[in-house]
Structure 1
Amino acid sequence: MASSKVELTSQEKELFKYTNERKYEEVKRLLTTENLSVNCVDDDGMTPLQHAAYKGDYKLCKLLLDCGADVNLTRHSSQYSSLMFAGLSGKVDVVTLLLENGASVSSTNSINKTASQMAAFVGNHNAVSAINNFIKSEEIEYFTQINGLETEPKLPSHLCQVVHKMAIMTNIHPVRIAMYIQNNLSILENIQKVIKVFDLLREKKYKDEGNELLSLKFHHLAFVLSYCEKFCGELKTKQAKADSDKDLLTVLIKHWLKSDKNGLQEKLENFLRQDIKEYPFLNNTLFQQLVRTLTSQNVSNDVAAVSILTDMISHQRSSDEVYLCCTCGEPYAEKKCSACKAVHYCDKNCQKLHWFSHKLACPELSKLNKETKSDEQITSTKCDESQSSSSAVPSDCGNESK
């Protein structure tokens, strides 16, 4: 539906100009000193928020939302929403900000595509993952209230924000989850209550909403939490001195990261296969797809359960050119092992955690890396020589052709 042409005031023209130029202070001045509607639209039906979302400017989007911008206002000529523009920009922080402010994930544009589908179309898989994994904080708040015949809420109110952040995580690698618990030990102190919340969400998402992805994810979160409790509890009973919960979780992380001579993290592999095996809703088509993929893989293959499961949740295909942290699976891990250059990490902490296992393979990987570089140099030299000889034209060649 094409938008009707509108006549903008001079101040509104300035608002759009400064928004597109990303001049935060000027936009703030106009919105706070001039009597402007933050929801005004230009000739294409775009609002300032939609322009800021397309630019991927978090700070500007936050300002516009704080000034009353309607996150779901859609007068665009092709019915694009602010969330669609944010998905096209690929900026996950902007996508999350809009979601937190009530952006609709189900609205469609003139070609019947949602924001998630538009982001997927242009290859912004992190934005897709943020949209597909999002639930409103109110869904967690519900469990902090007394409902029905309950005498107390299922979840302490101080855990609402912590559990919500966990619920919308896009990286659900068990190590990443354990590290999140290390930074939020209140989860471990109330772990049975948190597990119960995720169990209830698993059932609600599948039975009431038909959201197979989130049902699988919440089952996985509950399973990881249960194992953390069990592992740490068993360690405490075995040890003479009591380690802190944070240290016990570090032991668990290293338990998962330990590799065999082929580089397979067998403990983690077996843990995840049991995780999937215990999912209760067998008619879930994503679950069936997951099982088919896993049963077609031999455990010695490079593709392990952790990558298959996390790829499905994060919408990040294994073929994508994205380096994952060898410790926690975080994407876009730019830090490399300085010796072998073969493995990636998201930070020094992850590199330090993985070293006990990686140091066994590092010398061989370093050797392979040097041999590969040597072969590449030889190939490059031969190519240069070949190009040089082919480009050198004999002096009498021209005469012969005559």
Structure 2
Amino acid sequence: MTTQENTATTKRGDLTSAEREMLQVAAAGDVQEATRLLNSKEVRVNCLDENGMTPLMHAAYKGQADLCRLLLQHGADVNCNEHEYGYTALMFASLSGNAEITWMMLDAGAETDLVNSVGRTAAQMAAFVGQHDCVTVINNFFSRTRLEYYTRPQGLEKEPILPPKLAGPLHKIIMTTNLNPVKMVMMVKENPLLVDVVALEKCYRVMDLLCEQCVKQQDMNEVLAMKMHYISCVLQKCLAFLQERDDKLDALLKSLLKGRDGDGFPQYQEKFIRDCIRKFPYCEATLLHQLVENIAPVEIGNSPTAFSVLTQALTGQMALMDTEFCATCGERGADKKCSFCEMVVYCGQACQRLHWFTHKKVCKALQRQREFQSKDSASVREIPGNADGHDVMEGNCSSLLGLCLGFAELGHSHAFSENYPDPSNAVAEAMSGCQDWGREGHPSS
């Protein structure tokens, strides 16, 4: 069955025995059996169970990507909202936490603004249950169809604004949720089609057109407009370096990664991102005002960085305490530590090699900091507490003080984010807290 039925005429629970089997197979992810059932005349691809769930909803909720793909190929209605509480396939996909299926639903035409019976969208529901990757996918989705519009001549144009061969590589950059400029330059560098002056000129002009379209459309999308503008700025920077005969963009990558003396903070990268935001052409945009208000008062090198503020605004991602980010490209889930200091992580050897030229300047200081923390924490564990606990209290104060001073040795480096306090403030608060605890917990009389 390859045509899409009108689910409005399908009653909940009105199922044949084959359709009941289909619902079970969809949840189980048996592609072979599902293919057999879908090819029979007894199974409607959009049949509804007693709760109003279609086979696609079952497969999406269970995280069965191959089954979802098969059902979509057979005409499953991605926007069916016959569920008793108004849930859609996109909502079930986002609740499952499967980013691949969430993207699949969006690519098939899932509407992001549909709400359930309590007025929540798929992104809001995913955020509520902590599926942040799915939230990011939804917030950053951009249909390739919208980009391919520019690959066809319009009106009196003799040739398209964007050559069709560039649509794929450019769409990949648009869809990335990692806004680190190093990562974007690496994506350009990895594709020979983009490492070309003419190609980059065409790509950044399309980004500017999309930015304008997002602002001037009926439902203005400031977030998407800012992202298109930001990508345009990165592409223009690549173009400028190519024109200066930086054939492989290596000089640009080093400029973005180079840390300042003392703490290794990437000043050039911070200034570049701030400049991108400042150049946003629509001064009346609320998002622009919010970004400026959050970034302008912050001295370069302190937190929050322009990158963290921009990322949170455009993707909804927040720096999580238990999440490691590559020190080079900013990719999440990095797990390769520097073998010397063990304080910086990378997503692979390529990123570690690329970052070493600047990391080696602070590596020894970070190593001393780690060793100090290890020794100090060990000494605290060995302190035998008195009956009144004062020795333990003083040991804990000393440990926290040493930790804060260890951070302060490097200043406000890239290791700090909005989740970490200013070291000097942390010291004062720690000592004050310990003194208060001593007075309240152990009265002198």
Shorter-chain-normalised TM-score: which range? 0.7 to 0.9
Q: Is 1:161 aligned with 2:156?
A: no
Q: Is 1:344 aligned with 2:345?
A: yes
Counterpart of 1:251, as a letter, is A
CA distance in 1, matches of 2:40, 2:344: 53
Counterpart of 1:191, as a letter, is L
2:16–2:42 Cα contact (<8 Å) kept: no
Q: Is 1:214 aligned with 2:224?
A: yes
1:126–1:315 Cα contact (<8 Å) kept: no
Match of 1:253? Answer: 253
Displacement of 1:31: 2.4
Q: Is 1:203 aligned with 2:204?
A: no
Secondary structure in structure 2 of the residue aligned to 1:360 = coil
Match of 2:104? Answer: 97
Pick from 41, 64, 74 the counterpart of residue 71 of structure 2: 64
2:324–2:333 Cα contact (<8 Å) kept: yes
Displacement of 1:20: 2.2
Match of 2:200? Answer: 191
2:94–2:134 Cα contact (<8 Å) kept: yes
Structure 2 length as normaliser, TM-score? Answer: 0.79
Inter-CA distance 373–26: structure 2 relative to 1 (3 Å threshold): farther
Inter-CA distance 321–296: structure 2 relative to 1 (3 Å threshold): farther
Displacement of 1:16: 1.9
Worse-superposed segment, 90-99 or 340-349: 340-349
Counterpart of 1:82, as a letter, is A
Q: Is 1:75 aligned with 2:82?
A: yes
2:267–2:301 Cα contact (<8 Å) kept: no
Question: How do 1:1-400 residues align onto structure 2 when only pairs under 5 Å count?
Answer: 5-32=12-39, 35-189=42-196, 190-208=199-217, 209-236=219-246, 245=247, 248-260=248-260, 261-319=262-320, 321-382=322-383
Q: Deviations over 1:26-51 (max 9, x none)?
A: 32333245641121111111111111
Displacement of 1:320: 5.2
Match of 1:391? Answer: none
CA distance in 2, matches of 1:48, 1:339: 52
Secondary structure in structure 2 of the residue aligned to 1:186 = coil
Inter-CA distance 228–54: structure 2 relative to 1 (3 Å threshold): same
CA distance in 2, matches of 1:64, 1:373: 54
CA distance in 2, matches of 1:347, 1:67: 40
Secondary structure in structure 1 of the residue aligned to 2:76 = coil
CA distance in 1, matches of 2:15, 2:133: 36
Counterpart of 2:78, as a letter, is V
CA distance in 2, matches of 1:96, 1:125: 13
2:29–2:66 Cα contact (<8 Å) kept: no
Q: Deviations over 1:165-202 (max 9, x none)?
A: 22222112111111111122212321111111000001
Secondary structure in structure 1 of the residue aligned to 2:194 = helix
Q: Deviations over 1:195-243 (max 9, x none)?
A: 110000011101214100010000100111111111121145xxxxxxx
Displacement of 1:258: 0.6
Counterpart of 2:299, as a letter, is N
CA distance in 2, matches of 1:347, 1:218: 28
The answer for unaligned runs of 5 or more in structure 1 is: 237-244, 387-402
CA distance in 2, matches of 1:383, 1:321: 32
1:88–1:119 Cα contact (<8 Å) kept: yes
1:335–1:344 Cα contact (<8 Å) kept: yes
CA distance in 1, matches of 2:386, 2:158: 83
CA distance in 2, matches of 1:344, 1:223: 28
Secondary structure in structure 2 of the residue aligned to 1:188 = coil
Match of 1:396? Answer: none
Secondary structure in structure 2 of the residue aligned to 1:256 = helix
Counterpart of 2:336, as a letter, is K
Counterpart of 2:377, as a letter, is E
Q: Deviations over 1:366-386 (max 9, x none)?
A: 222122222333334458999
Worse-superposed segment, 215-224 or 324-333: 324-333
Displacement of 1:318: 2.7
Q: Considering only aligned residues, what root-mean-square deviation do their CA atoms show, in Å?
A: 2.1
CA distance in 2, matches of 1:107, 1:9: 30
Q: Deviations over 1:67-114 (max 9, x none)?
A: 221111121111111111111122111111111111111111111111
1:126–1:314 Cα contact (<8 Å) kept: no
Displacement of 1:13: 2.1
CA distance in 2, matches of 1:89, 1:338: 37
Structure 1 length as normaliser, TM-score? Answer: 0.87
Inter-CA distance 380–16: structure 2 relative to 1 (3 Å threshold): farther
Inter-CA distance 335–26: structure 2 relative to 1 (3 Å threshold): farther
CA distance in 2, matches of 1:75, 1:320: 39
Q: Deviations over 1:286-306 (max 9, x none)?
A: 111110111121113143212
Counterpart of 1:322, as a letter, is T
**What percentage of aligned pairs have identical amino acids?**
39
